[in-house]
Structure 1
Amino acid sequence: MLKKIDRAAAFIQKESELFRCPMCHQQLTAKEKSLVCSNGHRFDLSKKGTPYFLKHQVQTDYNQAMFQHRRKLIMNGMYQPLIDVLTPYCEGERILDVGCGEGSFLSQLATSAQLKPSVGFDISKEGIYLASDYGENLFWCVADLTNLPFQMGSFTRVLNIFSPSNYQEFKRVLVPGGKVIKVVPGSEYLKELRQAFYPEDETKQHYSNEAVIDKFQETFTKITRKTLKYTFDIPENCRLSLLEMSPLEWGVSPENKAQVQKNPLKQITIDLEILIGEFL
């Protein structure tokens, strides 16, 4: 089995036409284990095969432990109905997974939808290092949503699950007729966890993504909108991971968290809005 860095080097050799320099926007060319532009800007693969395309170091609140807890739940089927819905829209496509985190969504779609060589990126180095565990036909990098290191018309789908958007950049990197697939939480997403963490704070128990949905509908045409809602039975070995997998945990009091740890949730509501559209 190839080392991660060798696997990534083979990817950039084969797929180098995907990449452009985030500094000067010139074509990047693969040279051994680096991507280099004509102006001499160079992006080396890390030992895990992941280039760092940001101009400056960025600190995020998303740490390795959070990504590991999230992966555990994804791999134990928490979002399998979502993967099932997305698979027909991704079949045989070349995907850019925006804000891919630790990579489990794209990895599962690579299997279920037989993807062409695809790329996931995130601003969090910790997430991308974990994503590098997933291999065949997938490439992972640290990059900036507002300055994507990819050429115009490089992808047929942009996947945008639980992460911010930059529609101008999405349009640039998509082929004509390519689709953006955006997934946002519905009003009852993780409602049991919200209630347990913030029993006395109504504002944190309820929220709305209607403004995000309205923006999508203003931006795109040929829109498909699907609602996906179900209850997930949390495996016993994942119940404490649920408490650590999302930013919901950041503001909870130690007392409330200890109470939920003592009596962990056995079921959780998954409520999602799936938006699929082409640019106007």
Structure 2
Amino acid sequence: MLKKIDRGALFLAKQQELFRCPNCHQKMSQKEKSLVCVNGHRFDLAKKGTLYFLDHQIKTEYDKEMFAPRGRMIRSGMYQPVIEKIADLMQTGNLLDVGCGEGSFLQQINQLKTNSVNIGFDIAKEGIYLASNQPFDAFWCVADLTNLPFADQSFDTILNIFSPSQYREFKRVMKPDGCVVKVVPQSGYLQELRATYHPDGEAYSNEAVIQRFTEELEIDHRERITYTFEIPEENRLDLLEMSPLEWQVSPEVKAGLAENPLKKITVDVEILKGH
């Protein structure tokens, strides 16, 4: 059984042409357990077989306490209809998952449609460390959405699930016949949780996000998927911890919901495919 760092080195040896230096935008090549560019910028594999492409530490509010429950909720089947639609829309080949978190979406998608190359990146290193434990063949890295460490025209599909977009970079790294598949929460998404956590909150809308997508890319498919998911008993507390919704919630509200957790939750998303 190969160590993670050795698996990472093998991946880099095979796929070094997919990367470019985030510092000077030059080609990179694999040297032992590192990627090095022609100007000498060097990025070393961590023990977990992951690469850190940032030149500074980033502190995010997304931590292990949030990523782990999120992964369990994804694996519980909560997003199965969404995952099936993504698998249906995407093009197989080289797949990039933008803001991949702990990797469960990418892992579930690959159970339905296998890709020759799977790369997931996130700005939160806690998510990437967890992703390195996923039981399938993928490469994980910490990178900046606005300065992707990937070569031009490298990916057949770019996945953008519940995460920010940077269309200039998406267009640069997408193959000429590639696509972007984006999942955007709609007005009913997690409405039961939102009603409990923020009862006086404003109506929820992502119309501006959808509008931006339609301005930046040619639309190939647009579909809204809405359903109610019955939460397995063992996952009901995970639901409370998987979302940024809980960040500003009082301990009293959290405690009340933990004692009497939600049994059902609404999933309401827009899925967009563009090129």
When the two structures are superposed, what TM-score results if normalisation uses the length of structure 2?
Answer: 0.98
CA apart distance, 1:91: 4.9
Output the amino acid matched with 1:241: D
Partner of 1:277: 274
Counterpart Cα distance in 2 of 1:135 and 1:41: 31
Do the aligned residues in 1 keep the contact of 2:9 with 2:49 (CA within 8 Å)?
A: yes
Counterpart Cα distance in 2 of 1:71 and 1:181: 20
Alpha-carbon deviations, 1:167-204, whole Å to 9, x = none? Answer: 000000001121111101000000000111123x132x
Output the amino acid matched with 1:169: E
**1:228 counterpart = 2:225:** yes
Counterpart Cα distance in 2 of 1:6 and 1:137: 13
Partner of 1:24: 24
Counterpart Cα distance in 1 of 2:212 and 2:156: 21
Q: Identify the match of residue 210 of structure 1 among 176, 201, 207.
A: 207
- For structure 2, which runs of at least 5 residues remain unmatched after alignment? none
Number of residue pairs matched by the alignment: 275
Listed as ranges, the matches of 1:1-150 within 5 Å are: 1-134=1-134, 136-150=136-150
Alpha-carbon deviations, 1:6-48, whole Å to 9, x = none? Answer: 1111111111100001011111101111000111111000000
Output the amino acid matched with 2:221: T
Do the aligned residues in 2 keep the contact of 1:7 with 1:135 (CA within 8 Å)?
A: no
Aligned-pair identity (%): 60
Partner of 2:247: 250
Counterpart Cα distance in 1 of 2:12 and 2:109: 21
**1:237 counterpart = 2:267:** no
Output the amino acid matched with 1:31: K
* Secondary structure class of the residue paired with 2:8: helix
Counterpart Cα distance in 2 of 1:153 and 1:198: 43
Do the aligned residues in 2 keep the contact of 1:109 with 1:115 (CA within 8 Å)?
A: no
Counterpart Cα distance in 2 of 1:117 and 1:79: 23
CA apart distance, 1:136: 4.0
Deviates more, 1:26-35 or 1:85-94: 85-94
CA apart distance, 1:153: 0.5
Do the aligned residues in 1 keep the contact of 2:92 with 2:156 (CA within 8 Å)?
A: no
Counterpart Cα distance in 2 of 1:211 and 1:223: 19
Do the aligned residues in 1 keep the contact of 2:107 with 2:136 (CA within 8 Å)?
A: no
Alpha-carbon deviations, 1:23-74, whole Å to 9, x = none? Answer: 1111110111100011111100000011100111100000011000000111
* Secondary structure class of the residue paired with 1:251: coil
Counterpart Cα distance in 1 of 2:77 and 2:91: 20
Counterpart Cα distance in 2 of 1:202 and 1:168: 33
Do the aligned residues in 1 keep the contact of 2:90 with 2:179 (CA within 8 Å)?
A: no
When the two structures are superposed, what TM-score results if normalisation uses the length of structure 1?
Answer: 0.96
Alpha-carbon deviations, 1:93-134, whole Å to 9, x = none? Answer: 311100000001111112211112121000000000000112
Alpha-carbon deviations, 1:145-173, whole Å to 9, x = none? Answer: 00000000010111000000000000000
- For structure 1, which runs of at least 5 residues remain unmatched after alignment? none
Are the structure 2 counterparts of residues 57 and 72 from structure 1 closer, same or farther at C-alpha, using a change threshold of 3 Å?
Answer: same
Counterpart Cα distance in 2 of 1:137 and 1:254: 40
Are the structure 2 counterparts of residues 92 and 223 from structure 1 closer, same or farther at C-alpha, using a change threshold of 3 Å?
Answer: closer
Output the amino acid matched with 2:201: E
Counterpart Cα distance in 1 of 2:169 and 2:153: 11
Do the aligned residues in 1 keep the contact of 2:91 with 2:178 (CA within 8 Å)?
A: no
Counterpart Cα distance in 2 of 1:155 and 1:28: 17
Do the aligned residues in 2 keep the contact of 1:198 with 1:256 (CA within 8 Å)?
A: no
